[in-house]
Structure 1
Amino acid sequence: MAVIAEPVTKPVSRLHFMLDRREVLENILIAPAIIYVLLLVGLPLLLAMYYSVSAYTIYNPTWQFVGLANFTQIIDNPNFLQTLGNTFIFTFGSQLLGLVLGKFGAFLLLRPFPGRKIVRALIILPFAVPVALATIAWQWMFDSLYSVINWTLIAASIVTREDAPNWLGNPYLAMLCVIIINAWRFFPFAIVIFLAGITAIPQDIIDAATVDGAGFWRRNYQIILPMILPIVAIGLIFGIVFTFTDLSIVFLLTMGGPVGATSVLGFAGFQTGIVSGDVSHGAAISLFMLPVLLVVVIITLRFIRRREI
């Protein structure tokens, strides 16, 4: 009579048992993201705080504690106050324009028309094109001699050749140019946000409002916009953070000119800390972004929480 041997169960390793626990597995999976943030965000922030309270320069790399003297000197500089104001104008002006363009673009793409799928695919190009190439193209469009905008205005007899605007030579027009370019880069992102929010609204709500006699504007501003406001606010946070710390458009288009009219905090910190070699003052300028962005994020998140309640 044959005897059937019972299968021998292998002992479960301690590591396998730990990975079966949800809290352990969650910590392991999120650890790379935490390490990434600490190395690429936390460490530079600590270095900036370290240099901002010192007299460190590339010409005199010895560390000497000076306290808040760098911040006091920066605040007393009228050029810094102009740069701070330019940063607010550049950030909120471009975000407002980008949101307006994104909203109307989203409503346009929701309507059926020939080639809508192609337009939806092409609308993302401003967000995908490298900023250097896009800014150089815009620079030719705003050129004082070869501007296609000026040539169009002259051909339409709106302005004369003598009165054609010098887009990058006038302080107000130069700021308008950098705002337009940044809004052009941001509005595809805004379109995606609005499309996601509008399509998530149940169609029954829109149909009920239409039956009750609500027209396009009432449906838009009393029903749709309040319902998608938390989603728009989250996108606005990302837009403000990226724009407030951005220096690429100003660096490539105007170099902060004319006469500092388009200089922003990111560009000023780069020019002071990297180009001029005054690392301590450059770090102090860059740290001015932190409290401003922190206040904006806190206010926006509290607004979203209230809307959800």
Structure 2
Amino acid sequence: MSSATTEAGVGGIRRSRRRMLFEDERWLAMALLSPTILLLGLFIAYPFVTGVMLSLSNARVGVPGEFVGFANFARLWNDPIFAKAVGNTFIYTAVTTVFKLALGLWLAVLLNRHFRGKALVRAFILLPFIIPTVLSTFAWKWMFDPTFSVLNWTFRTLGLIDTRINWLGDPDLAMLSVMIVNIWRGVPFYAISLLAGLQTISPDLHEAAAIDGARPWSRFWHITWPLLLPVTMVVVLFSVIQTFADFQLVYVLTAGGPANATHLFATYAYQVAIGTGLLSEGAAISLAMFPVLFLVVIIQLLYIRRVETR
């Protein structure tokens, strides 16, 4: 009888300790966050650390390699293709971001109005963003084909051109084509995100300004845009990160060609690491974009906080 009582008492103490443990917010927070921390460690921290270790070695496919310090990064300074990829990445990101923001904001303003079939139009605009990147890019690659290009056929029918245009074979046109596809795919993300921000703005503000005699452009510039700016900065932040590290779209369209004219950080790193087997140099190219992205993120986050405080 006494042993049973003792076991019951011990079990009660354990249950009470366990209850007290989970009532402590610190232990409860750790218990809830531990699965997320484990996933982040496996899929983000571990690949990042492995990439850093590879970039500091002379590893190749099948060869572990030895520690060489910053030799791989020093070699990149004398690589003309890497310099071209750096310039392409900045131009590609800047141009596409500006056009996606302008077109996305224009579509968001139009979709914020009341008209028949508004829900259907919103769903239709999301199609470029919903379709898998590789699938839609293959369709665009066929449209840019010099022999079977629907664009060339259309331009020749309208009398705008006399000869076929090799969209992906000319270095300048290839970069322009890649930008067009990126803009086409990214505009829906901007439009829907900015539309959500527009719907949080009270119509009473516009009605009051209209009564005071403010014109539509003045109402947009002094009411809509300041209230929409925090949402816009967050959307631009995510877009810049995704565009700066873009791979699928460029690789399917041109694979970095012609003559390395459309290489970005990601495509050139893939070509060096997988195409030639130089894993260490490919890792160094990939990590070269990290300081730039980190700086861009910090600047934009500080600006977002400043805008929200204002």
TM-score (normalised: structure 1): 0.92
Name structure 1 gaps, 5 residues minimum.
Answer: 1-8
1:195 pairs with 2:207: no
Following TM superposition, by how much is the alpha carbon of 1:250 offset from its aligned partner in structure 2, in angstroms?
A: 1.2
Q: C-alpha separation between the residues in 2 aligned to 1:16 and 1:47?
A: 40
Q: C-alpha separation between the residues in 2 aligned to 1:254 and 1:151?
A: 21
Q: What is aligned with 2:144?
A: 142
Q: What is aligned with 1:86?
A: 88
Following TM superposition, by how much is the alpha carbon of 1:45 offset from its aligned partner in structure 2, in angstroms?
A: 0.9
State which of 34, 46, 58 in structure 1 corresponds to 2:49. Answer: 46
Residue 127 of structure 2 aligns to which amino acid in structure 1?
Answer: L
Q: What is aligned with 1:102?
A: 104
- What do residues 14-33 of structure 1 show as CA deviations (whole Å, max 9, x unaligned)? 22332233333233222222
Residue 249 of structure 2 aligns to which amino acid in structure 1?
Answer: I
Structure-2 change in CA distance of 1:109 and 1:76 (3 Å): same
Q: C-alpha separation between the residues in 2 aligned to 1:236 and 1:281?
A: 30
1:28 pairs with 2:31: yes
Compute the RMSD of aligned alpha carbons. Answer: 1.8
Residue 185 of structure 1 aligns to which amino acid in structure 2?
Answer: R
For residues 127-206 of structure 1, the aligned pairs below 5 Å read: 127-160=129-162, 162=163, 164-206=164-206
For residues 7-26 of structure 1, the aligned pairs below 5 Å read: 11=12, 12-26=15-29
State which of 122, 125, 128 in structure 2 corresponds to 1:123. Answer: 125
Q: C-alpha separation between the residues in 2 aligned to 1:174 and 1:296?
A: 27
Q: C-alpha separation between the residues in 2 aligned to 1:97 and 1:45?
A: 32
Equivalenced residues, count: 299
1:76 pairs with 2:78: yes
Residue 246 of structure 2 aligns to which amino acid in structure 1?
Answer: D
- Which one is further off, 181-190 or 276-285? 181-190
Q: C-alpha separation between the residues in 2 aligned to 1:180 and 1:37?
A: 34
Residue 238 of structure 1 aligns to which amino acid in structure 2?
Answer: F
Q: C-alpha separation between the residues in 1 aligned to 2:112 and 2:65?
A: 59
Following TM superposition, by how much is the alpha carbon of 1:62 offset from its aligned partner in structure 2, in angstroms?
A: 3.6
Q: C-alpha separation between the residues in 1 aligned to 2:186 and 2:149?
A: 23
- What do residues 41-94 of structure 1 show as CA deviations (whole Å, max 9, x unaligned)? 1111111110111111115x1431211111011111111100111111122222
1:270 pairs with 2:270: yes
Residue 115 of structure 2 aligns to which amino acid in structure 1?
Answer: F
Following TM superposition, by how much is the alpha carbon of 1:237 offset from its aligned partner in structure 2, in angstroms?
A: 1.2
Instruction: Give the SS at the match of 1:240.
Output: helix
Instruction: Give the SS at the match of 1:76.
Output: coil
Instruction: Give the SS at the match of 1:143.
Output: coil
Following TM superposition, by how much is the alpha carbon of 1:265 offset from its aligned partner in structure 2, in angstroms?
A: 0.5
Instruction: Give the SS at the match of 1:157.
Output: coil
**Identical residues among aligned pairs (%):** 41
Q: What is aligned with 2:4?
A: none
Instruction: Give the SS at the match of 1:159.
Output: coil
Instruction: Give the SS at the match of 2:32.
Output: helix
Name structure 2 gaps, 5 residues minimum.
Answer: 1-8
TM-score (normalised: structure 2): 0.91
Q: What is aligned with 2:233?
A: 233
Q: What is aligned with 1:6?
A: none
Following TM superposition, by how much is the alpha carbon of 1:210 offset from its aligned partner in structure 2, in angstroms?
A: 1.6
Q: What is aligned with 1:210?
A: 210
Q: C-alpha separation between the residues in 2 aligned to 1:122 and 1:295?
A: 36
Q: C-alpha separation between the residues in 2 aligned to 1:75 and 1:22?
A: 50
Q: What is aligned with 2:294?
A: 294
